[in-house]
Every structure is written in structure tokens, then in C-alpha cells.
Amino acid sequence: MIKMLDDLYEKGTIEKEPLVDLLDALDHYDEQGLYSRLQSCADAVRRKHYGQSVFVRGLIEFSNRCVQNCLYCGLRKGNQRVQRYRLSQEEVIECCRTGYSLGYRTFVLQSGEDPWYTQDKMVEIIGGIRKICPDAAITLSIGERSMAEYRKFFEAGADRYLLRHETASRDLYEKLHPFMSYEARCEHLNMLKRIGFQTGAGFMVGLPDQTNHHLADDLLFLKKLNPEMIGIGPFLPHSDTPLGNRRRGTIEKTIMMVALARLLVPDALIPATTAMETLDPKGKEKALRSGANVLMTNLSPEEVRPKYALYENKLYTDEAPECCKQYTEDQIRNAGYKIDMGRGDSLKMVNGMME
């Protein structure tokens, strides 16, 4: 197994069957030091490409309304117990203004799939941010839209788009997403790439009925898509959803997937996610030491943060952006890395254009 891991480290590629074997072996990670070797290989690859830098993003969760009904998510349409909110265009822009003055140069605008934010409203938000933050990157994470809308968002100045594939198993995907199709998800990711967005895919770890075969498919899906960003997080149940009583993902397995994603897509931007910290207070630091190179800080207005509950016990701070920034800086330093407040574009970007 050590040899297999070393091959993967050197070549950045692996076939499905050996990958499943490797995942099975890694589940017994205290044997042979395989798990810690994986972590150090991932850290070496990350350092080769990005050095010690950790990029910091400002996250604005601007609406918790959603027309989708993903079985795992606390914001699903069917959950009547959520107190719903929407931020106005001006409020979103204001969050970015505050963030910009604190030094943030990437804003991630995230919401449920909420058609209230029409193409025109989104263009107004993106244009408004562009005007006051000319050198900042704008990332959208608002679910599936039409090709025409994606194009308009890109033309208005959005640079990046996050749309996790969630799981690369068609069966599992369609069980978890009533009325959504796996083919459509893949097509949307391809559309985003074609338009020129730095595109983010990714998946959850520890979903009900997910096996190492599924996870191997997820990793190989990423290898093939070669996205600029990769979001991986543990599945965490929310009791007001149909999966409320299922087991949650583990931090060990999630970190394992982060490290393998780093080996397979060496130049990707990979965040240490809040969901990891919810599982383990040291979760984000562990991820940073195992291949992750991005941290997100919450810039949403304090009063809406508890309402954006994708999963239960989500860590949120009721602290002002200044304090969140300090906390993030400390986390990065404690993990042994250096904060980088720049845009933190993908290494594939040359002169502001995708290669």
C-alpha cells in the first residue's frame, strides 16, 4: 500500500480498483503509518504549488430560501421550521464593502436556490461589488441557473462559481436530490468551465449508503473534471430533514479525501470547511496540514448567521467581521502557515484569463 501511495504521489493518478484498495487500507489508518504518510504527501504537493500561503475568503450567506429539496440539507424547501431571510442587493454589497476595508479580496456569495434573485438582481449585486471592490474576486455559490444567466453573471464580473457535484454516483445523487438530475449537474459544471469561470466541484463524505467505491468515483470524477476549486466536507445530519437520524461523516475520512484530492488535482484551491470544524475543533487545522489551502470567514450580518443552518450545530460566531478575521489569522498561524489576503486565483489563471 505504501508503494501505491508513493506512486500516486509521484504520478498524480491512480486507477479505480487500486484506489478502492487504498481507501480500504486507509480506513485502518493506524496500521503502517499509511494515513500520516498520506497527509505528509498531500502537504508536500500543496507546498510545491502554493508554498505556505493560505488564502482567505469572505463568505456572505445572503438568502436561506431554497426551491430544492435535497434530502440532507436543513434549508430544503420542505423544512417548515426554518425562519427564512433574504438580504437586499444593497445589504449584500454593504457586507462586501466592510470586508474590502478589512482587506478581503475574494467574496463568496452563497444562498439556497432562490429565484427571487433574478438575473437582473444578481447582475446588480455583482456590478455593485465590482464598482467598490475593483480588484476583488467574486465567487457565486447559488445553485443551478441557465447557461444564459451564467454568461450574464460572468460578463457582469463574477469570476468563480462553486457547484459541488455532491456525489459522483448517479444512483445516490438521484436518491438525495428529488427532481434533480445527475446528468444536468455534470452539464452545468461543464457549462461553467466553458464560460471561463474558475469552477468548483466537490462532495460530501459519510453520506448514508456511501461506500469506498462511491468515494473512489468522487475522487476520479474530480481528476477528470480538473476543477480550479474543490469543496469537500463531512455529511452532518439535520434533524428536520429526512436524513436527520443518519450517522454523520467522520473527520478522519474527510481529511483523507482532502489529501487524496490534493494528490489527484495538485493545483486546486481546496478550503478547510466549517463543517470540519463542527466535527472537530481542530478540524480546519488538520485539513490545512493535509492539503487544504483556503479558509472562509463569515461576513454575513450577525443576526442571520444562525438561520443559515445547512446542518445542525453549525458553528457560527456572533462576532463582528474584525474578530472573525483575527480568529482566522490565528488558526492559520497555529497550523504553521501564512495568511495571504490576495485574490488567490487558481494557478491556471494567466494574466487574468483562464488558460
For ligand SF4, the binding residues (CB under 6 A) are 66, 68, 70, 73, 75-76, 112-113, 143
**309 vs 157: CA distance, rounded Å:** 29
Q: Toward ligand SF4, which CB reaches closer, 7 or 209? A: 209
- Per partner kind, with CB cut-offs from 5 to 8 A, the member of ligand SAH, ligand SF4, none near residue 76 is ligand SF4
Task: Look at the chain and count its residues.
Answer: 355
Site string for ligand SAH, 316-355 (x = CB under 6 A): ----------------------------------------
CB 72 within 8 A of CB 176: yes
CB 164 within 8 A of CB 200: yes
Q: Toward ligand SAH, which CB reaches closer, 162 or 259? A: 162
Restricting to residues 72-91, which ones interact with ligand SAH according to CB under 6 A? 72-73
Q: Which three cell numbers stand for residue 121?
A: 438582481
In this structure, the strands spanning 137-141 and 271-272 are unpaired
CB of 259 to ligand SAH, least distance (A): 19
Q: Toward ligand SF4, which CB reaches closer, 38 or 275? A: 275
Helix (H, G, I), strand (E, B) or coil at 40: helix
Restricting to residues 211-250, which ones interact with ligand SAH according to CB under 6 A? 233, 235-236, 238
Phi/psi for 229 (5° steps) reads -130, 150
User: Per CB under 6 A, does 283 bind ligand SAH?
Assistant: no
User: Per CB under 6 A, does 277 bind ligand SAH?
Assistant: no
- The count of chain residues that interact with ligand SAH, using the rule CB under 6 A, is 18
CB of 220 to ligand SF4, least distance (A): 23
Q: Which three cell numbers stand for residue 16?
A: 479505480
User: Per CB under 6 A, does 185 bind ligand SAH?
Assistant: no
CB of 19 to ligand SF4, least distance (A): 27
Q: Which three cell numbers stand for residue 138?
A: 467574486
Virtual torsion, Cα 188, 261, 278, 317, nearest 10 deg: -70
- Region of 88-96, 163-171, 254-262, 286-294 interacting with ligand SAH (CB under 6 A): 163-171
List all residues 6 or more positions away from 272 whose beta carbon is below 8 Å from its beta carbon: 258, 283, 284, 285, 287, 288, 292, 294, 295
Restricting to residues 3-62, which ones interact with ligand SAH according to CB under 6 A? none
DSSP bridge partners of 110: 61, 141
User: Per CB under 6 A, does 200 bind ligand SAH?
Assistant: no
- Region of 77-85, 159-167, 186-194, 214-222 interacting with ligand SAH (CB under 6 A): 159-167
- Per partner kind, with CB cut-offs from 5 to 8 A, the member of ligand SAH, ligand SF4, none near residue 228 is none
- Angle of the 16-26 helix axis to the 34-50 helix axis, nearest 10: 120
CB of 93 to ligand SF4, least distance (A): 22
Q: Toward ligand SAH, which CB reaches closer, 182 or 311? A: 311
Q: Which three cell numbers stand for residue 333?
A: 498561524
CB 74 within 8 A of CB 84: no
Q: Toward ligand SF4, which CB reaches closer, 61 or 345? A: 61
DSSP H helices, the chain, are: 2-11, 16-26, 34-50, 89-101, 119-132, 147-156, 170-176, 182-195, 212-225, 251-264, 274-279, 283-288, 321-335
- Per partner kind, with CB cut-offs from 5 to 8 A, the member of ligand SAH, ligand SF4, none near residue 331 is none
For ligand SAH, the binding residues (CB under 6 A) are 72-73, 110, 112-113, 141, 143, 163-164, 166, 204, 233, 235-236, 238, 275, 310-311
